[in-house]
Structure formats: C-alpha cells, structure tokens
C-alpha cells in the first residue's frame, strides 16, 4: 500500500445527490480524491433528493459547499472553483447544465484540463435522452431483466441490488474518469465524458448480446450454462430452509460435487439436456438431507464451487469479511455508533478511524471559496445575499 492515497491531490466537484454519479464520487473519495459535494442553498434545497443519513458511506470524507447557481454571485463562485478543480461530475437532464451556464463548453474554456463527466440514464444523445428513469428502467432496456429467471407470475424479477446504478453507471463513470485522468497526465487535456447507465448495462450483458449477434441463439433464462440450463449451476434448498449456490461449471469441479453427494453416476451427463431434470431432482434430494452450513463446511473447501446464499445480517457476521476489514465504524451525535461498509475496491484504505457523521446542513463553503480565490469580503457578500451558505 502506498504511503499516500492513490488519488491524493485530485479535486472533484460533484453536483449530484444520488444515483450513479454519487456512487462514482463516493469511490473517488475512497481512493483519496478531495470530493466536494455542491448542493443548493436552503431556499432551493427541495430541488435535489436528500438521501438517508447512511447513504454513500454517510458522507465519509466528503466535503460540502452550498451555492445558488441561479444567482450571478453563486454561479461566478462556482465557475472560479471549477477553474481549480480536476474533475466535475453532474447528473442533470441533458441540456440543463448548459442552460445554467456550467456546461462543458463554458467550463473547458476556463479550465482546459477539466475532466467533465455527465451521467444520465439514457445518455446525452439519442431519442431517449430526455426520458426519466431509474435502475429498473435501465435494466429493462438493456435486456438484463429479460435474461433473468422469471418470478412466480412469469414476469421479470426485481433485482436485489441497484445493478444499473452501481455496477453499471457508477462504475462506468469511475473507470471513464480514471482513464481520462491518465490521459490528461500526459497531454494536459481534459475531456467530456458521456456516461449512460443504459449503455453500461449493455457492457454487463455483453456475453449474451455477443452470443446472439454472432450465432443467432436467443439468450434468456435456461438458454446456457450461466442462466440455469444445467443442474451444475443453480441454487438448492437445504434441510433448514436455507439455500446453497452451486457453480460447478468446470468438469472436474462438477465431478467433485457428484462424488461428495454420492451421485457419481451423473458425472458423464453434466451437459446432457435429456438428463438435467433427473440430475436436478437428485441434487435437490441430496441437499435437503443436511443443513446449509454443514454442507458449506464440507463442500466449499473441496473444490466444488459451493457457497451459502447469505442474507445481509449473515454476511455482516461472516468471519471471512471480518478478517478482510470490509466494515468500518461511524458515530452520529443522535444515533450513536454504528457500522458501515468500508472502502472495498483494491488500492483503497480499509483501516479507517471512527468517522464522525456531520450534521446535514454542515458545509465547507468558506474553505473552498477561499481555495477558489475569493476574498473574505466576497465570501461575506455571497452569504449576505443568500447565494452561498
């Protein structure tokens, strides 16, 4: 681990409150960037969603300023701050940033090295660019829901995580920003990044999309080994009503599993479609004979690709995660001490001190307006006029 954080010295302005952009800025802060959340003043506070106190690491390590960007003074202060920043992330509907006066063209004139990241559901161009949407909409458009195992009524399931926002748009933004910073280190040039959550879902779906484009095979539940076609890749209920996940794709892992279950007769038929119902039923009967954790203790270390299906309380208590330090502590004046997920991406620091949660209206406005070059008199004028707080 390096002595200093990987993104030490990088300043990020984040105009979002929730969604992919806020996930990306959270992870940039975990890598050591100075992330400044730019929010509205109290008079305009209703224009953004106010997420729950625990969201995005409860604001761990994030700075805050509050400006009225629709006032001349507030807009000028923001532009001066953008001149000294490395990255800007915004999640307005396409065209809104330009109308406010903080679009890429305006800011790049002042700061040619700025990495400007626009995040949206459907992108900055295309016939759907003005559509409103959320995670489920992007997963639907990108084919993710259609390729997932249907629920009891035959309809697409609702995923247990915001896949499009996080693994899609949030990571899309993070990777694109880091790549742009690498290029800028050599050329000095900034860029405008069009991060589209729906596009990012296509990246997650690339295996299925490419299969269809190249072979004409229609992907979907049960169409191939990764979507439940074979018994070796499925979930099974155990005696105590809990579940195991089995991912024995490789023939030697599948053979190990069959031997451990006393079902060696099925080893030659791993991908025999005519035998899958029979093998599944045999697996179900075998797993139902013992409790989940008993099976895990025997099978997980035995090269069978078996793992428990955990609830959130179970994963929090798991010794593997505890040893890896994936949780950290926070303290709130009203709620007391509680745990949060620590930075978990490789290269970020996990050994964090107890984080003191700040009051919602706390801000670092004066600090960053001074950083932007504003005088004490200018800052006082902004506060008096209500353009900053």
Q: Cβ(25)–Cβ(37) under 8 Å?
A: yes
Sheet of 336-341: strand order equals 336-341, 327-332, 355-356
Upper half-sphere CA count for residue 223 (Cβ side, 13 Å): 16
Tell me the CA distances in angstroms from 47 to 17, 29, 41, 212, 361, one per residue in order. Answer: 10, 24, 10, 43, 15
Q: For residue 165, indicate whether it is catalytic.
A: yes
The Cα 77–Cα 64 span in angstroms is 14
Q: For residue 68, indicate whether it is catalytic.
A: no
Range list of H helices, 290-375? 292-299, 312-317, 319-323, 365-371
Pair of tokens at residue 191: 């860029």
The Cα 116–Cα 77 span in angstroms is 18
Q: Which of 14, 86, 165, 234 is catalytic?
A: 165
Q: Which of 134, 146, 194, 293 is catalytic?
A: 134
Tell me the CA distances in angstroms from 148 to 213, 219, 224, one per residue in order. Answer: 19, 10, 12
- Known catalytic residues? 134, 165
């Amino acid at each position: 681990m390096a002595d200093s954080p990987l993104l030490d010295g990088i300043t990020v302005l984040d105009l979002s409150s929730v969604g992919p952009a806020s996930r990306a800025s959270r992870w940039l802060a975990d890598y050591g960037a100075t992330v400044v959340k730019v929010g509205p003043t109290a008079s305009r506070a209703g224009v953004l969603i106010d997420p729950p106190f625990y969201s995005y690491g409860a604001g761990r390590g994030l700075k805050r300023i509050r400006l009225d960007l629709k006032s001349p003074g507030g807009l000028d202060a923001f532009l001066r701050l953008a001149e000294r920043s490395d990255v800007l992330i915004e999640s307005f509907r396409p065209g809104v940033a330009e109308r406010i006066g903080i679009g890429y063209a305006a800011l790049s004139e002042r700061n040619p090295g700025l990495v400007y990241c626009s995040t949206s559901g459907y992108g900055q161009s295309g016939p759907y660019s003005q559509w409103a949407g959320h995670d489920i909409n992007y997963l639907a458009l990108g084919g993710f829901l259609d390729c997932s195992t249907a629920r009891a009524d035959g309809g697409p399931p609702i995923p247990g995580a915001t896949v499009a926002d996080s693994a899609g748009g949030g990571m899309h933004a993070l990777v694109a920003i880091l790549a742009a910073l690498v290029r800028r280190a050599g050329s000095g040039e900034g860029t405008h990044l069009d991060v589209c959550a729906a596009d990012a879902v296509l990246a997650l779906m690339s295996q299925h999309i490419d299969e269809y484009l190249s072979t004409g095979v229609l992907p979907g539940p049960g169409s191939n080994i990764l979507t439940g076609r074979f018994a070796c890749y499925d979930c099974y209920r155990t005696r105590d009503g809990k579940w195991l996940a089995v991912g024995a794709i490789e023939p030697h892992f599948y053979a190990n599993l069959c031997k451990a279950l006393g079902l060696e007769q099925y080893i030659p038929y791993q991908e025999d479609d005519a035998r899958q119902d029979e093998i599944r039923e045999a697996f179900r009967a075998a797993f139902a004979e013992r409790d989940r954790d008993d099976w895990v203790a025997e099978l997980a270390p035995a090269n069978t690709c078996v793992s428990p299906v955990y609830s959130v309380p179970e994963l929090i208590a798991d010794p593997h995660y505890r040893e890896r330090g994936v949780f950290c502590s926070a303290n709130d004046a009203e709620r007391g001490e509680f745990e949060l997920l620590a930075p978990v991406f490789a290269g970020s620091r996990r050994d964090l001190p107890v984080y003191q949660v700040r009051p919602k209206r706390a801000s670092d406005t004066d600090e960053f307006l001074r950083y932007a070059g504003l005088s004490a008199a200018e800052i006082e004028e902004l506060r008096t006029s209500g353009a900053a707080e």
